[in-house]
Amino acid sequence: VRVAGIRIGTVRGVELQPDNSVVVEFDAADNVRLTESTTVAVRYLNLVGDRYLELLDRPGPAKIQQPDSRIGSDRTEPALNLDL
């Protein structure tokens, strides 16, 4: 888990849901504050396909998101997939 390319946390789990959506559980450093406008993007780390979560601060409500709350799929961006 990264902010502006700096590692601030780790992914603790990935779980496929019955509706084919995915729940990703992650933690972030204590000094990182997620707001209700924070979005999450899946990014490539390297050429072999390793990925990471990038937390992005977008314009919008600055209300702090509570620990253990969810970031919905409307606030996520998938990784670009290249079919060769």
Average pLDDT of span 10-27: 94
Per-residue pLDDT band at 80 (split at 50, 70, 90): confident
| pTM exceeding 0.85 | no
Q: Are 65 and 32 in contact (CB under 8 A)?
A: no
Q: Which residue is listed with tokens 């700096």?
A: 6
Judged by DSSP in three states, 75 sits in helix
Residue 68 is predicted with a pLDDT of 86
Average pLDDT of span 40-66: 89
